[in-house]
C-alpha cells in the first residue's frame, strides 16, 4: 500500500550516510501544536492522492547527514495512500537553515527491505 506512494516520493539521497548526531543541530527541538497533513500525488498513470500525517508534539533531533538534520516524531507517522500505515519518521531541517524543510519516514517494501521516503513541504508547518 505504501509502495504506490513510495514510487513517486523522493528517496533521501543521504540515507546511506545517515548517522547519529555528531554535530549541533540548528534548533534543539521542533514542536507542532497540532497534527500536520501533507497532501500530494503519487505515481504517473493515474496519479493517486496520498497523505503523510505528522503528529502534534515535540520532535527531537536524532540523525544527520551531509545535507540535513532529522528530527524524530513523538509518535508514528501515518501514511494514507491505498490504505493506512504507521511508520517511524519525522521532520528534517536542511543544513544552513532553522526552518523545517520536509518530512521523512522509513517503510518496508513487500520483500522486507527498509527504505527511506521523504518530501519537501510546500510551506513549513506552524511550529512553536
SS3 assignment, position 28: coil
Tens-place pLDDT, residues 83-120: 889 999 999 999 999 999 999 998 887 788 888 888 99
Tens-place pLDDT, residues 27-65: 999 999 999 999 877 777 788 888 999 999 999 999 999
b/e per residue, 22-37, with b = 16+ CB within 10 A?
A: eeebebeebebeeebe
Q: Which of 65, 66, 125 is nearest to 99 (CA)?
A: 125
Amino acid at each position: 500500500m505504501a509502495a504506490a506512494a513510495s514510487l513517486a516520493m523522493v528517496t533521501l539521497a543521504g540515507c546511506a550516510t545517515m548517522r547519529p548526531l555528531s554535530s549541533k543541530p540548528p534548533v534543539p527541538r521542533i514542536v507542532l501544536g497540532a497534527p500536520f497533513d501533507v497532501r500530494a500525488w503519487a505515481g504517473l498513470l493515474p496519479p493517486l492522492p496520498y497523505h503523510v500525517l505528522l503528529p502534534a508534539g515535540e520532535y527531537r533531533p536524532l540523525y544527520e547527514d551531509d545535507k540535513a538534520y532529522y528530527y524524530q516524531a513523538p509518535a508514528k507517522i501515518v501514511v494514507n495512500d491505498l490504505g493506512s500505515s504507521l511508520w517511524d519518521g519525522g521532520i528534517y531541517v536542511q543544513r544552513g537553515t532553522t526552518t523545517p524543510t520536509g518530512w521523512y519516514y522509513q517503510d518496508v517494501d513487500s520483500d522486507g527491505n527498509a527504505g527511506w521516503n521523504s518530501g519537501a513541504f510546500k510551506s513549513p508547518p506552524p511550529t512553536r
